[in-house]
Amino acid sequence: MRIIAIEEHFWSRDFAEAFAGPRAERSPELMRRLEDVAELRLGDMDAAGIDLQVISHAPPGGQRLKPETAVSACRSVNDALAAIVTTAPDRFAGFATLPQIRPEQAADELQRCVEELGFCGGMVFGITDGRFLDEPVFWPIHERAARLGVPLYLHPSMPHPQVRDLYYGTYAESHPALTGAAWGFGVETGTLGIRMVLSGVFEAYPDLQVILGHLGEGITFQLARIDEALSRPGNRPSDFAATFRRNVHLTTSGFFSDSALRLCLDEMGADRILFAVDWPFVSNTEGTDWIRAFPTDPDTRARILSGNAERLLGL
């Protein structure tokens, strides 16, 4: 059974030089894997039985670029990723990195990456210049993705400094994962997912599809409550759950829990869930061992492992 993993990362030192603001500390071994584009990556894939990775630049991404260099930096890193893909086109595909602070140019770069480089979508990160990506200034990116028929992957990034200080205080120092993968990532990206549904962008561009990792960044587990509460008097009509199920896909990235996946299957259906690992932050074999053992029927497993990615990403 073919296995496609769609939230898998690499790192460009040249691209990182363009970042504004602080940078996370990463271990030498993690950086070695992020920067490797062949031997370590393919060896890990083979050991886990992964046939194809959809590769994207690790966070921080296009949201942390300086306005004056954002477009050229993204163009350069996308060209670098395209070169990686051409070394093993049967094993690698790409998500574009976009200069989010320049929305019109970001839309153009997405189109270039899809039409000229053969990428299968774009990955966008967190808050850009203090604004979430549901705001109308960013709609050119969403419009272009819908027109091109490719999804946008909404990837987490570190919370806004004011949120970090207010929500996490000294825990940000004593338990730094709390601001990231343990909690903060999901809070920020889940908030973006909710805002996207409420913004009207999916009504404006009904063909737009977005992807949320980590089994929906918490939204899926509260979907019924969110939908019910937003239907109470005083709220503008939103049809939240129906819109979420129509325009959002989920991945398993870094969240290998039987009970969590069962709930997502119940809430979203088998056609809306795709396999991902979040390599190299998470082990490939941990992900594939889990999904192979997950108790489900062969058709559902095949959809999660590759069928949905083939359909959504044109792989």
Half-sphere exposure in the Cβ direction for 288 (13 Å, CA) = 21
E-strand spans in the chain?
Answer: 4-10, 52-57, 92-94, 96-97, 122-125, 152-155, 210-212, 248-251, 273-274
Strand-pairing partners, residue 259, are none
User: Is 5 exposed, middle or buried, given 0-12, 13-18 or 19+ CB atoms closer than 10 A?
Assistant: buried
The Cα 170–Cα 261 span in angstroms is 33
The Cα 102–Cα 114 span in angstroms is 18
Q: Residue 153 phi/psi, 5° resolution?
A: -90, 120
- Taking alpha carbons only, the member of 165, 166, 162, 220 closest to residue 189 is 220
Q: Helix, strand, coil % (nearest 5) of the chain?
A: 55, 10, 35
Residue positions annotated with a catalytic role = 278
Q: Which long-range contacts (CB under 8 A, 24 or more apart) does 300-305 make?
A: 300/265, 300/270, 301/1, 302/1, 303/270, 303/271, 303/273, 304/252, 304/270, 304/273, 304/274, 304/275, 305/1, 305/2, 305/3, 305/4, 305/275
Q: Which residue has the tokens 């095949």?
A: 302
Q: CB of 272 within 8 A of CB of 248?
A: yes
What is the residue type of 20?
A
Longest Cα–Cα distance of the chain, Å, equals 58
